Amino acid sequence: MKALITRKIGMASIISEDGAATAVTLLSATPNVITQIKNDETDGYKALQVGFEETKNTAKPQVGHLKNAKIMPKVTREFRLDEITEEMKVGEQLSADLFSVGDKVDATGISKGKGWAGTIKRHNFKRGRKTHGGQSYRRPGSIGSMYPQRIFPGKKMAGHMGHEQRTAQNLKIALVDMELNVIGVTGAVPGPRKGIILLKEAK
């Protein structure tokens, strides 16, 4: 299982040899550090806990937990594994060369938050007419009938839009720059610039 924690830089274009332009999302892939290895005997499942970037403000319980990793990561995430190999050790680094050009990956991030949005913006409802005395332009209109005298959960209405975990699947790795620690992924990935993106090998 190939997986990395990255940070979104922005978007760019790559020009291929035949002159075709491809939209690419650039991700900062500074080396990840293995902070914990979980196994069936002690935890009931197999997983790698990985740290990304560094911070000075770490709580004392985390300092004790991370002392073997020799890093105080800003971001930690966990990736499930099918099996744990001997090469995997606490403190080992996972760099951008974990992936190679052409690999298929899934990118998971938190989508851009849009705040409280009405039904037209949030669910693509139709606007009411602005002629012949119409006064309901952007209102949702009727939301129910007399029976069953309540509104079922899941009804499309105005509410908080965005800021949800989303995954873009089967994206291709377009470039891997080890000098700059940058990975380029074809297409768009969820979230704003500087947002955390989890890259996983597509199943």
Please enumerate, as own/partner, the contacts of 51-60 that have beta carbons within 8 Å and a separation of 24 or more: 51/75, 51/76, 52/5, 52/6, 52/7, 52/76, 52/77, 52/196, 53/7
Lowest mean pLDDT among 32-41, 78-87, 192-201: 78-87
User: Does the pLDDT of residue 75 top 90, yes or no?
Assistant: yes
What's the pLDDT tens digit per position in 141-177?
Answer: 999 889 999 999 999 999 999 999 999 999 999 999 9
3-113+164-201: what fold?
Elongation Factor Tu (Ef-tu); domain 3 (2.40.30)
Please list the alpha-helical segments (H only) found in 26-139: 60-65, 119-123
Q: What is the mean pLDDT of residues 86-110?
A: 92
Which residues of the chain does CATH 2.40.30.10 include? 3-113+164-201
Query: What pLDDT score was predicted for residue 1?
Result: 77
Please list the alpha-helical segments (H only) found in 20-118: 60-65
With a pLDDT cut of 70, the percent of the chain lying above it is 100
DSSP category for residue 191: S
Angle ∠(103,106,109) on CA atoms, nearest 5: 140
What's the pLDDT tens digit per position in 10-35?
Answer: 999 999 889 999 999 999 999 999 99
Query: What pLDDT score was predicted for residue 72?
Result: 92
Q: What pTM did the predictor assign?
A: 0.86
Query: What pLDDT score was predicted for residue 70?
Result: 82
Is residue 28 exposed (0-12), middle (13-18) or buried (19+ Cβ within 10 Å)? middle
Query: What pLDDT score was predicted for residue 7?
Result: 97
